[in-house]
Structure 1
Amino acid sequence: MVTARISQARRSAEENSRRLGNQVRSSEARFRNLVESTRDWMWETNAEGVFTYSSNSVFQLLGVPSWEVEGRRGSDFGFAVDLERAAAGGGRPDR
């Protein structure tokens, strides 16, 4: 009896894990589609200020392919002052 309950709980947990995994993948695909279809430059940096993601729109804006941006800092492209102001203003460079 206990073994049957454990087996049922395991199957239920596995099904929930599959369902949640599918939801996450679907959400990621929608977000990726949004980011890749906008003309705005989207990026992500780590705590050290190194780009960990850059959308392809960076090429139209800076003339640099996204793969060259990733792994580098904003100061490598001459906009360190803007990044410092953005960090001081809670992510808004216009403060």
Structure 2
Amino acid sequence: MIEFGGTLLASFTTPMHIGTDPASTLWLLPLVASIAVVYKATKVYRIQAYPFLRESAVLFGSILVFIVAAALILYGVAWVVTEQLPNLVSTSAF
């Protein structure tokens, strides 16, 4: 039992490898779905199947839209800082 505990604790000392390819971003979907379902489950007084699923789906969609919008804004800021700003700074006004 002590070996198992030691192995379990040792696994937290090295970071888990998460890919940066577009397919690895699909792992976001189950996370967002679980967040939406758990959040709605804590907020409603009585759970009925259809309204609960509808409200969870709306929350799921709104979270995804916000994440995509935030990603596009951050991508735009990174593009300006890395591609456009160095060209503006390197050109002399004189």
User: What TM-score do you get using the length of structure 1 for normalisation?
Assistant: 0.39
With a CA cutoff of 8 Å and minimum separation of 6, indicate the structure with the bigger relative contact order: 2
User: What TM-score do you get using the length of structure 2 for normalisation?
Assistant: 0.40
Higher-strand-fraction structure: 1
Q: Which has the larger radius of gyration?
A: 2
